Structure formats: structure tokens, C-alpha cells
Structure 1
Amino acid sequence: MTEVDKMKLVIVTGMSGAGKTIALKMLEDLGFYCVDNLPVSLVDKFVQLVSDGGDIKKAALGIDIRNGEGLGGLEEVTEKWRSQQMDIKILFLDASDAALIKRYKETRRTHPLAGRGRLETGIGKERDRLTFLKKKADFIIDTSMLLTRELRQELEKIFQKEEDFKNMFITVMSFGFKYGIPEDADLVFDVRFLPNPYYAEELRPLTGEDSSVRDYVMQGNTAELFLCKLKDMIDFLLPNYINEGKNQLVIAIGCTGGKHRSVTVAKALYAHLKSHGEYGIRMDHRDIDKDNKRK
């Protein structure tokens, strides 16, 4: 086995504005030697030079649309490396068009393919040109709703702990219907049929984070039966969504105010999915404090 075979290489790519620079910094913290925006024509030479040195065992290369027409040559290079049994992985960072547009407007940066035209047009062109890389990616992380620490957790899971990763990040969200259904929700479940702690004076100021509220919501068999059926359906859907190519899922659980019942059910579903250990997952109680803020 040659030194090239022994070195672990990660190609970090994806949509502009999806977090590649941040990901490279995080990989550097995990012990990777990182280089950003290296021309594709030089990557093979770089790998050879680094490997010949023998001191670097883990390297990460940031390669994206800034390579222009040369980006297409990456497919040939990666196929060559894989034919040599080299340990190479492709990490593709993605985000929704809405999230990318918001980030570009906040930073006032210019999209590399937009020029003086519309930002949306540039993003569309970039998606088309990166399709081949996304199809070949070993790991796809959608950063549309990820906090920086959550992205770090996912990278640690993949590259430090070397856990199973199924290219799916799930957000379990509680919300209140009176504040509107979340626009980014993929699945919405209405739990307003469950016992409402709002009408118990001592429970009204509390939330679904409190055990007394949870016990009130879960009284009887209705909540348990609903949760059983909900978990079973989600367990069935997730592998099918993954096979279809989906890598981000927002499951929204709603009650009237988003404070009691929805929080209780969302927490139970989150715990169930967390126990799987194979999906990225986060919890978001969107409206849990809104009633207090309005008073």
C-alpha cells in the first residue's frame, strides 16, 4: 500500500453560501490539513506532494464553482484516486434557495455566477453545474436551518467518531397554529385533540418541558396511541425519503399556542429519532415563549 492510499482526503464542495469555509475551519480543528479554492488542475499534484511528505494523514480540499470550467475535471481526478483505492470522501454542503438568498443579502456579497444579473439566476446556474458532484457525494449536509454548533456536531459524527451517516438532517419543531404554520415544514401534525393544560390554572404558565404538563397531555390512551402511530409512520417514511434523495426534513407538531401539547409530543418524537443514532436531528420550539412575551 502506498502513502497515497494511507492518506485520508475529503473534498469539501457545494453551493456558494452553504458553509464550505466554516466547514473547512471545523475540519482543521479535527486535525485535517485544509486548503481552499485550489485549481482542479493542481489537486492531483497537491495530493502527491502531501503524500510524499508522509507527515499529513488527513487533508481537506475546498473546491467549488470558483474553479469555473475546470470544475468538470474533478470527476476524472476523483475516479482515478478511487481506482487506486485511495481513501477519498466527497462532502457536499447544500442549502435552500431561500436560505442562500438571505445569506447573500445579509453579507452583501456577489454570487460568482450572478454577475450583474439576478441572484436567483446565479444560484440556479450553480445548482446545474454542481449536479454531478452532488450525485457522487458520500455525505450531503443541508445547512438551511443548521446552527454553527450543529454543523460541527455533524462533521464530528462523520469524520471524528466515524458514525453511520444517512444524508438526512431532521428538525422536529413545535409551533402554535395561532402564530401560523411554519413555511418550511415538510410534515405537519395537529395535536389540538389532546388534553389542553391551558385550562388547568396551575399548568397554564408552564410548558411541555415540565413533567406535570407532560403527564397531563399524556393522560389516557389517546396520546400514547397517537405517538405510537406517528413514530411508526416516520420510521417508514425516512428510508423512503432518503432513497428519493431528500436530505432535509422538517416535522412540525402544532397545538393552539405552541407551548404545551405540541412541545410534549415534539419532545417524545425527538427522543425516539435520537435513539436511532443514524440521523442528524435538532429540536426547535418555535413559539414556546410567545405567550409570555405578548403579556
Structure 2
Amino acid sequence: MSGAGKSTVLDALEDMGWDCVDNLPTALLDQFVHGEREARQPLPVAVGMDVRSRGFDPFDLPALLRSIKDVKPEILYLDCAGAELVRRYDETRRRHPLAPDRPPEDGIARERDLTAPLRQMADAVIDTTDLSPAELREELLRRYGGDVDQPVLTVASFGFARGISRSADLVFDMRFVANPHWIDELRPLTGKDQAVRDYVAEDPAWPETIDRIEALLIGLIPRYWAAGKSYLTVAFGCTGGRHRSVAAAVEMAERLRGAGFSPNVRHRDLLSQPSDTIEGSPASSGARESAEAGE
């Protein structure tokens, strides 16, 4: 999708040593790739394309890539929510390539329909809606900075109040656990702090829940790898994304490392400000101090 971060991706890959080119006409693709393969020190190649690229056809592109001999192509599709794309176009004051004289929403809708077949055939999809340029670079470094054949496992946290994680394959809702936000001394802390981790661990439901999720993931992750999935994101959500989900993601990452996996950890909403409005009421959040006061 135009505006989803193609330039950022190409810049990041170039910094990793890739040979990158943007908006290459499709008629020159085979010549460009083979020219690089004949170089003294062949480099991995990244070609950026969107609806502005000459000859771009989302139906024909996969077949064109497969026709290039002696290479292993991968299609990475960059997606982004429409509202965020509108915000980016408004911020940069650029016009959408498919709607030069109309609102950007029209061009975004048209482009989403046009590129839908390519998204379905893509080997990997990155949704950049909630990613800053720095976070997008980190994601690319994890995927392409080393051995690209090694499956990538990410354990993430997020807050439902700020939108569900768009990149998650598996989501676990931790909002049933007592909320540290309503404890004055814990509110400014996060789930990475030991005091918060100790607090949520005292919830009667926490130990059994974490044990069951661990057992489930240890059994499922190898099955995803065996099915050919190269990227798997396991996300934990709570209301604000600062306490319970973070604590769960940190603990699960530790347990998975102990089981022989090498997960990355990403906390989407960790740096957001505490908010009583977002967290709701202590009664609805299941805070233990409310129950204890009732006793």
C-alpha cells in the first residue's frame, strides 16, 4: 500500500547490505537480478514496487518472479489501516497516486482492491499501522538481518483500549487478572518491573493460566514451523497495555527461552501514559484491593 513504509523498508535493507532499487519497471526486473548475480560478491536484492511502478500488475508479478532462474524470490507486502494512511498523507501533504484530484480515501480503497491478489499471494505481510519507523527497522532486522530461513517468533503485549494487535497470530486476553493500575505505588510502573510481576502472580488464576498457555505454545509452535510459517507472533492484551499484558509477555518469553525457543519481545503500548479513563473502573477491572475492601 502506498504510504505503508516502502521507503523505510528499502533504506533499512540497504543499511543491512542489500542491493535495493525503488520503482523498477517490471520489464527490467530479470535483467537487474541477473546483473547482480553476476557481480563478484552477489548481494541479496530488494526491489520496491507499488502502483506507480511501470508495468506493475498484481496478478502477473508472482509469475514474473518465479520465471527468474536460479533465485528464490519472496514477496513482502506492506499493509496499513486506511485511517492511518489518511493521517500520513495529511501529515506529508502528498497526494495519493490513484486519487490525485480526489480525497485520499478514494485512492486507498482503490489500491486495496487492486493489490488484494498480491497480498493473498505474499510470503510475508507486515502491517505498519502501529509501527514507528524505528520499530519497523527493528522488525526487518529480526527478519532479514541474519539467517532468513530461521523462523521468527515474537511475543508481544498491547492494550485493547488502543486497538487490538494487528500483527498477532495468537492473542491471549489477560483482562481477567487483577489490575495493578489501581494500586497507587504500582500505577507508574510497568509489567517489566518485578513489583508488578509479583502482584499479578498473586492472582489465583495467574499460575494455572500461564502454565496452560506455555504448554499450548510449546506444542503449537513446532506445528506452525512444520506447516511452513516463517513468522509467528503471540500477543498478550490487557486494557491499557502497560501492566498485565507486559508481565505476561515477559514471563512467557522467559519460559519459551527455557524451552529452547528464541523469541523476540515487543511491547506496543509500554510507553503510553497511565489513564483512569482508559482503564475503566476498579470494580470492572477485577482489582484485588476492591474485593479486599468489601471483605
Structure 2 length normalisation: TM-score?
Answer: 0.70
Residue 20 of structure 2 is matched in structure 1 by 34
1:276 and 1:174, CA in 2 relative to 1: closer, same or farther beyond 3 A? Answer: farther
In the comparison of the two structures, how many residue pairs are matched? 265
Distance 1:287 1:156 in 2: 22
AA aligned opposite 1:218: A
Structure 2: runs of 5+ lacking an equivalent: 277-295
1:273 and 1:101, CA in 2 relative to 1: closer, same or farther beyond 3 A? Answer: farther
Residue 79 of structure 1, aligned match among 66, 69, 78: 66
> Which residues of 2 match residues 55-94 of structure 1 at below 5 A?
55-67=41-53, 70-72=56-58, 73-81=60-68, 84-94=69-79
Matched, 1:282 2:266: yes
1:206 and 1:135, CA in 2 relative to 1: closer, same or farther beyond 3 A? Answer: closer
Instruction: Specify which structure has the higher proportion of strand.
Output: 1
Residue 51 of structure 1 is matched in structure 2 by 37
Per the TM alignment, residue 80 of structure 1 is displaced from its structure 2 partner at its CA by: 0.9
Judge conservation of contact 1:141–1:169 (CA < 8 Å) in 2.
Answer: no
Measured on the aligned residues, the alpha-carbon RMSD in Å equals: 3.9
Structure 1 length normalisation: TM-score?
Answer: 0.70
Residue identity over aligned pairs, in percent, reads: 32
AA aligned opposite 2:88: R
Q: Which moved more, 1:147-156 or 1:186-195?
A: 186-195
Distance 2:107 2:150 in 1: 30
Matched, 1:191 2:175: yes
Judge conservation of contact 1:172–1:269 (CA < 8 Å) in 2.
Answer: no
Q: Which moved more, 1:160-169 or 1:69-78?
A: 160-169
Distance 2:2 2:187 in 1: 46
CA deviations over 1:112-170 (Å, ceiling 9, x no partner): 11121231221121122222322332222111112223222222233231255779876
1:79 and 1:249, CA in 2 relative to 1: closer, same or farther beyond 3 A? Answer: same
> Which residues of 2 match residues 106-121 of structure 1 at below 5 A?
106-121=91-106
Residue 198 of structure 2, aligned match among 215, 234, 238: 215
1:224 and 1:65, CA in 2 relative to 1: closer, same or farther beyond 3 A? Answer: same
Distance 2:72 2:192 in 1: 44
Structure 1: runs of 5+ lacking an equivalent: 1-14, 176-180
1:53 and 1:19, CA in 2 relative to 1: closer, same or farther beyond 3 A? Answer: same
1:151 and 1:252, CA in 2 relative to 1: closer, same or farther beyond 3 A? Answer: same
Matched, 1:153 2:133: no
> Which residues of 2 match residues 242-261 of structure 1 at below 5 A?
251-254=236-239, 261=244
> Which residues of 2 match residues 119-158 of structure 1 at below 5 A?
119-158=104-143
Judge conservation of contact 2:191–2:243 (CA < 8 Å) in 1.
Answer: yes
1:28 and 1:260, CA in 2 relative to 1: closer, same or farther beyond 3 A? Answer: closer
Residue 10 of structure 2 is matched in structure 1 by 24
Judge conservation of contact 2:66–2:73 (CA < 8 Å) in 1.
Answer: no
Judge conservation of contact 1:35–1:61 (CA < 8 Å) in 2.
Answer: yes
Residue 280 of structure 2 is matched in structure 1 by none
